[in-house]
Amino acid sequence: MKILVTGGAGFIGRHLVEQLARSNANQTVVLDNLHRAMPGQFSAGVEFREADIRDRRAVESAMDGCEVVFHLAAQSNVMGAVADADYAFSSNVAGTFHVLQAALKARVKRLVFTSSREVYGDPKRMPVRETSPLRPKNAYGTSKAAGEAYCALAAREGLDTVVLRLANVYGPGDRDRVIPLFAAAAAAGEPLTVFGEGKILDFVWIGTVVDALVKAGLGRSIRGPVNVGSGRGVAIAELARRVVQLSNSSSRVRIVPERKQEVGRFVADLTRAKRLLGIAEPEDSLWGLPQTLAVEARKIE
Protein backbone atom coordinates (compact mmCIF):
# COMPACT_ATOMS: atom_id res chain seq x y z
CA MET A 1 0.00 0.00 0.00
CA LYS A 2 1.29 3.45 -0.91
CA ILE A 3 0.70 6.06 1.80
CA LEU A 4 1.25 9.82 1.87
CA VAL A 5 2.01 11.65 5.12
CA THR A 6 1.90 15.42 4.82
CA GLY A 7 3.90 17.04 7.59
CA GLY A 8 5.71 13.74 7.99
CA ALA A 9 8.96 15.40 9.11
CA GLY A 10 7.30 17.03 12.11
CA PHE A 11 6.97 15.76 15.67
CA ILE A 12 3.89 13.55 15.26
CA GLY A 13 4.65 12.86 11.61
CA ARG A 14 8.07 11.33 12.24
CA HIS A 15 6.71 8.96 14.86
CA LEU A 16 3.89 7.96 12.50
CA VAL A 17 6.21 7.45 9.53
CA GLU A 18 8.54 5.25 11.57
CA GLN A 19 5.57 3.14 12.66
CA LEU A 20 4.38 2.77 9.07
CA ALA A 21 7.90 1.94 7.89
CA ARG A 22 8.02 -1.06 10.23
CA SER A 23 5.51 -2.76 7.95
CA ASN A 24 7.15 -3.96 4.75
CA ALA A 25 3.70 -3.88 3.12
CA ASN A 26 3.69 -0.06 3.09
CA GLN A 27 5.45 2.39 0.79
CA THR A 28 5.43 5.78 2.49
CA VAL A 29 5.87 9.20 0.90
CA VAL A 30 6.56 12.18 3.16
CA LEU A 31 5.75 15.72 2.02
CA ASP A 32 6.98 18.52 4.29
CA ASN A 33 8.15 22.11 3.79
CA LEU A 34 10.35 21.92 6.94
CA HIS A 35 8.71 25.07 8.34
CA ARG A 36 8.89 23.70 11.89
CA ALA A 37 10.48 20.32 11.26
CA MET A 38 14.16 19.52 11.06
CA PRO A 39 15.58 17.60 8.09
CA GLY A 40 16.81 14.13 8.93
CA GLN A 41 17.06 10.58 7.75
CA PHE A 42 14.03 8.32 7.46
CA SER A 43 13.91 4.56 7.46
CA ALA A 44 14.56 2.64 4.26
CA GLY A 45 11.57 2.64 1.94
CA VAL A 46 10.42 6.13 2.92
CA GLU A 47 10.49 8.74 0.14
CA PHE A 48 10.93 12.34 1.31
CA ARG A 49 9.80 15.32 -0.76
CA GLU A 50 10.49 18.85 0.42
CA ALA A 51 7.44 20.76 -0.74
CA ASP A 52 4.55 22.84 0.55
CA ILE A 53 0.91 21.75 0.70
CA ARG A 54 0.03 25.19 -0.67
CA ASP A 55 1.69 24.07 -3.92
CA ARG A 56 -1.14 22.22 -5.66
CA ARG A 57 1.09 20.54 -8.26
CA ALA A 58 3.52 19.28 -5.63
CA VAL A 59 0.65 17.79 -3.63
CA GLU A 60 -0.84 16.07 -6.68
CA SER A 61 2.54 14.65 -7.67
CA ALA A 62 3.25 13.29 -4.17
CA MET A 63 -0.23 11.76 -3.96
CA ASP A 64 -0.06 9.91 -7.27
CA GLY A 65 -0.89 6.25 -6.67
CA CYS A 66 -1.53 6.66 -2.94
CA GLU A 67 -4.40 4.80 -1.30
CA VAL A 68 -4.29 6.45 2.15
CA VAL A 69 -3.34 10.00 3.14
CA PHE A 70 -2.48 11.17 6.65
CA HIS A 71 -2.81 14.96 6.57
CA LEU A 72 -0.71 16.37 9.40
CA ALA A 73 0.93 19.36 7.70
CA ALA A 74 -0.11 22.59 9.42
CA GLN A 75 0.91 25.60 11.41
CA SER A 76 0.44 23.63 14.61
CA ASN A 77 1.35 26.13 17.30
CA VAL A 78 -1.31 28.38 18.83
CA MET A 79 0.90 31.38 19.51
CA GLY A 80 2.68 30.86 16.19
CA ALA A 81 -0.68 31.09 14.43
CA VAL A 82 -1.51 34.23 16.40
CA ALA A 83 1.81 35.78 15.40
CA ASP A 84 1.41 34.85 11.72
CA ALA A 85 -2.30 34.47 10.98
CA ASP A 86 -1.68 34.69 7.22
CA TYR A 87 0.52 31.59 7.24
CA ALA A 88 -1.92 29.76 9.53
CA PHE A 89 -4.76 30.45 7.10
CA SER A 90 -2.87 29.71 3.89
CA SER A 91 -1.40 26.48 5.25
CA ASN A 92 -4.17 25.13 7.48
CA VAL A 93 -7.15 26.18 5.35
CA ALA A 94 -6.01 26.68 1.75
CA GLY A 95 -3.38 23.95 2.08
CA THR A 96 -5.92 21.51 3.48
CA PHE A 97 -8.26 22.35 0.61
CA HIS A 98 -5.48 21.52 -1.88
CA VAL A 99 -4.80 18.19 -0.15
CA LEU A 100 -8.49 17.23 -0.18
CA GLN A 101 -8.94 18.20 -3.83
CA ALA A 102 -5.85 16.22 -4.80
CA ALA A 103 -7.15 13.22 -2.85
CA LEU A 104 -10.46 13.35 -4.70
CA LYS A 105 -8.66 13.64 -8.03
CA ALA A 106 -6.35 10.71 -7.21
CA ARG A 107 -9.27 8.58 -5.97
CA VAL A 108 -7.61 8.06 -2.60
CA LYS A 109 -9.43 5.48 -0.51
CA ARG A 110 -9.18 7.34 2.81
CA LEU A 111 -7.81 10.57 4.27
CA VAL A 112 -7.14 11.10 7.99
CA PHE A 113 -7.16 14.74 9.12
CA THR A 114 -5.46 15.73 12.37
CA SER A 115 -7.66 18.38 13.92
CA SER A 116 -7.28 19.75 17.44
CA ARG A 117 -9.07 20.20 20.74
CA GLU A 118 -8.64 23.92 19.99
CA VAL A 119 -11.79 23.75 17.83
CA TYR A 120 -13.88 23.65 21.03
CA GLY A 121 -12.43 26.82 22.52
CA ASP A 122 -13.13 27.14 26.24
CA PRO A 123 -15.76 24.43 26.86
CA LYS A 124 -18.63 24.97 29.24
CA ARG A 125 -18.56 21.36 30.42
CA MET A 126 -15.85 18.74 30.85
CA PRO A 127 -15.02 16.14 29.78
CA VAL A 128 -15.72 17.46 26.29
CA ARG A 129 -17.69 15.27 23.88
CA GLU A 130 -17.44 15.43 20.10
CA THR A 131 -21.00 16.78 19.98
CA SER A 132 -19.96 19.90 21.91
CA PRO A 133 -20.25 23.14 19.92
CA LEU A 134 -17.19 24.42 18.10
CA ARG A 135 -16.21 27.82 19.50
CA PRO A 136 -12.52 28.35 18.63
CA LYS A 137 -10.96 31.36 20.31
CA ASN A 138 -7.77 31.77 18.24
CA ALA A 139 -6.53 31.65 14.64
CA TYR A 140 -5.23 28.09 15.03
CA GLY A 141 -8.50 26.64 16.33
CA THR A 142 -10.46 28.54 13.69
CA SER A 143 -8.26 27.18 10.91
CA LYS A 144 -8.71 23.61 12.17
CA ALA A 145 -12.48 24.05 12.36
CA ALA A 146 -12.41 25.28 8.75
CA GLY A 147 -10.32 22.25 7.79
CA GLU A 148 -12.94 19.98 9.34
CA ALA A 149 -15.64 21.73 7.33
CA TYR A 150 -13.73 21.12 4.10
CA CYS A 151 -13.26 17.48 5.11
CA ALA A 152 -17.02 17.17 5.49
CA LEU A 153 -17.49 18.70 2.03
CA ALA A 154 -14.97 16.26 0.52
CA ALA A 155 -16.78 13.39 2.24
CA ARG A 156 -20.01 14.43 0.55
CA GLU A 157 -18.11 14.32 -2.74
CA GLY A 158 -17.06 10.71 -2.10
CA LEU A 159 -13.79 10.85 -0.13
CA ASP A 160 -13.69 8.67 3.00
CA THR A 161 -12.41 11.13 5.62
CA VAL A 162 -11.62 10.58 9.31
CA VAL A 163 -11.19 13.54 11.67
CA LEU A 164 -9.16 13.08 14.85
CA ARG A 165 -9.25 15.92 17.38
CA LEU A 166 -5.95 15.68 19.22
CA ALA A 167 -5.40 16.85 22.77
CA ASN A 168 -1.92 18.05 23.86
CA VAL A 169 0.43 15.45 22.39
CA TYR A 170 3.78 14.94 24.12
CA GLY A 171 6.82 12.73 23.70
CA PRO A 172 10.42 12.75 22.43
CA GLY A 173 11.18 15.00 19.49
CA ASP A 174 8.78 17.88 20.10
CA ARG A 175 9.81 21.52 20.40
CA ASP A 176 8.38 24.99 21.06
CA ARG A 177 5.50 23.63 23.15
CA VAL A 178 4.92 23.50 26.87
CA ILE A 179 6.81 20.35 27.90
CA PRO A 180 9.99 20.93 25.83
CA LEU A 181 9.93 24.60 26.87
CA PHE A 182 9.63 23.58 30.54
CA ALA A 183 12.42 21.02 30.08
CA ALA A 184 14.77 23.59 28.57
CA ALA A 185 14.04 26.09 31.36
CA ALA A 186 14.57 23.47 34.08
CA ALA A 187 17.88 22.37 32.52
CA ALA A 188 19.06 25.99 32.49
CA GLY A 189 17.89 26.68 36.04
CA GLU A 190 15.51 29.32 34.77
CA PRO A 191 11.91 29.87 35.94
CA LEU A 192 9.16 27.75 34.41
CA THR A 193 6.42 30.19 33.40
CA VAL A 194 2.79 29.08 33.71
CA PHE A 195 0.24 31.29 31.96
CA GLY A 196 -2.86 31.13 34.16
CA GLU A 197 -3.19 29.81 37.67
CA GLY A 198 -6.08 27.42 37.05
CA LYS A 199 -5.05 26.10 33.64
CA ILE A 200 -5.89 22.39 33.15
CA LEU A 201 -5.23 20.45 29.94
CA ASP A 202 -5.34 16.90 28.62
CA PHE A 203 -1.93 15.43 27.71
CA VAL A 204 -1.68 12.30 25.57
CA TRP A 205 1.41 10.18 24.86
CA ILE A 206 2.72 10.21 21.27
CA GLY A 207 2.50 6.41 21.01
CA THR A 208 -1.21 6.53 21.78
CA VAL A 209 -1.72 9.12 19.05
CA VAL A 210 0.26 7.14 16.47
CA ASP A 211 -1.72 3.98 17.23
CA ALA A 212 -4.95 5.95 16.82
CA LEU A 213 -3.78 7.39 13.51
CA VAL A 214 -2.82 3.99 12.12
CA LYS A 215 -6.15 2.45 13.14
CA ALA A 216 -8.05 5.42 11.70
CA GLY A 217 -6.18 5.19 8.41
CA LEU A 218 -5.90 1.45 7.92
CA GLY A 219 -8.79 0.07 9.98
CA ARG A 220 -12.52 0.22 9.46
CA SER A 221 -14.17 3.42 8.33
CA ILE A 222 -15.17 5.91 11.03
CA ARG A 223 -17.93 8.46 10.69
CA GLY A 224 -17.75 11.68 12.66
CA PRO A 225 -14.87 13.25 14.59
CA VAL A 226 -13.08 11.40 17.40
CA ASN A 227 -11.26 12.91 20.37
CA VAL A 228 -7.77 11.52 20.98
CA GLY A 229 -6.56 12.27 24.49
CA SER A 230 -5.99 10.71 27.89
CA GLY A 231 -9.36 11.61 29.39
CA ARG A 232 -7.55 13.16 32.37
CA GLY A 233 -6.80 16.76 33.22
CA VAL A 234 -3.38 17.97 34.31
CA ALA A 235 -2.90 21.29 36.07
CA ILE A 236 -0.11 23.09 34.21
CA ALA A 237 1.34 24.32 37.48
CA GLU A 238 1.58 20.68 38.66
CA LEU A 239 3.16 19.69 35.33
CA ALA A 240 5.80 22.38 35.87
CA ARG A 241 6.55 21.11 39.36
CA ARG A 242 6.92 17.54 38.08
CA VAL A 243 9.33 18.68 35.38
CA VAL A 244 11.43 20.50 37.99
CA GLN A 245 11.44 17.46 40.27
CA LEU A 246 12.28 14.93 37.54
CA SER A 247 15.02 17.21 36.21
CA ASN A 248 16.59 17.65 39.66
CA SER A 249 16.44 21.35 38.92
CA SER A 250 16.57 24.36 41.23
CA SER A 251 14.17 26.27 38.96
CA ARG A 252 11.10 27.89 40.45
CA VAL A 253 7.61 27.85 39.00
CA ARG A 254 6.33 31.29 38.11
CA ILE A 255 2.60 31.84 37.53
CA VAL A 256 1.63 34.85 35.43
CA PRO A 257 -1.69 36.03 33.97
CA GLU A 258 -3.16 33.85 31.25
CA ARG A 259 -2.79 34.69 27.58
CA LYS A 260 -6.22 35.53 26.23
CA GLN A 261 -5.67 33.58 23.00
CA GLU A 262 -5.09 30.27 24.81
CA VAL A 263 -7.69 27.77 25.98
CA GLY A 264 -7.61 27.48 29.77
CA ARG A 265 -9.40 24.18 30.39
CA PHE A 266 -9.82 20.97 28.42
CA VAL A 267 -10.32 17.29 29.15
CA ALA A 268 -11.42 14.93 26.38
CA ASP A 269 -14.34 12.56 26.60
CA LEU A 270 -12.96 9.26 25.28
CA THR A 271 -16.20 7.30 24.84
CA ARG A 272 -15.90 7.18 21.04
CA ALA A 273 -12.12 6.79 21.11
CA LYS A 274 -12.35 3.74 23.35
CA ARG A 275 -15.00 2.12 21.18
CA LEU A 276 -13.66 2.99 17.74
CA LEU A 277 -9.89 3.18 18.27
CA GLY A 278 -9.29 1.06 21.34
CA ILE A 279 -7.76 3.95 23.31
CA ALA A 280 -7.33 3.20 27.00
CA GLU A 281 -7.50 5.79 29.79
CA PRO A 282 -4.17 5.74 31.69
CA GLU A 283 -3.96 6.14 35.45
CA ASP A 284 -1.37 8.86 34.93
CA SER A 285 -1.48 10.69 31.61
CA LEU A 286 2.11 11.89 32.17
CA TRP A 287 3.55 8.39 32.53
CA GLY A 288 5.87 9.08 29.57
CA LEU A 289 7.26 12.32 31.04
CA PRO A 290 10.50 10.78 32.46
CA GLN A 291 11.38 9.29 29.06
CA THR A 292 10.57 12.56 27.30
CA LEU A 293 12.70 14.60 29.70
CA ALA A 294 15.60 12.16 29.38
CA VAL A 295 15.62 12.67 25.60
CA GLU A 296 15.35 16.44 26.01
CA ALA A 297 18.27 16.41 28.47
CA ARG A 298 20.48 14.56 25.97
CA LYS A 299 19.61 17.12 23.28
CA ILE A 300 20.54 20.01 25.58
CA GLU A 301 23.85 18.35 26.50
| For residues 32-37, average pLDDT | 88
pLDDT (mean) for 171-182: 94
Task: Provide the residue ranges of all domains of the chain, joining segments of one domain with +.
Answer: 2-167+203-228, 170-201+231-266+282-300
pTM, whole model, 2 decimals? 0.96
- DSSP for 233-293, please give it: -EEHHHHHHHHHHHTT----EEEEPPPTTS--B--B--HHHHHHH-----S-TTTTHHHHH
Angle between the N-to-C axes of helices 289-300 and 178-188, in degrees from 0 to 180, rounded to the nearest 10: 60
What is the structure's pLDDT at 38? 67
| CB 78, CB 262: distance < 8 Å | yes
User: Average pLDDT, whole number, for the chain?
Assistant: 95
Task: For residue range 271-287, list pLDDT tens digits in order.
Answer: 999 999 999 999 999 99
Catalytic residues: 140
Q: Which residues of 101-140 are buried (b: 16+ CB within 10 A; e: fewer)?
A: bbbeebebebbbbbbbbbbbbebeebbbebebebebbbbb
Q: What is the CATH number of domain 2-167+203-228?
A: 3.40.50.720
pLDDT digit string (tens) for 94-124?
999 999 999 999 999 999 999 999 999 999 9
Query: What pLDDT digit, counting tens, does each position of 203-251 carry?
Result: 999 999 999 999 999 999 999 999 999 999 999 999 999 999 999 999 9
Name the CATH code of domain 170-201+231-266+282-300 (choices 3.20.10.10, 3.90.1150.10, 3.90.25.10, 3.40.50.720): 3.90.25.10
% of the chain beyond a pLDDT of 70: 98
Contacts of 301 (CB under 8 A, 6+ apart): none
Type of residue at 44: A
Confidence (pLDDT) at 203:
98
Q: Report pLDDT for 207.
A: 97
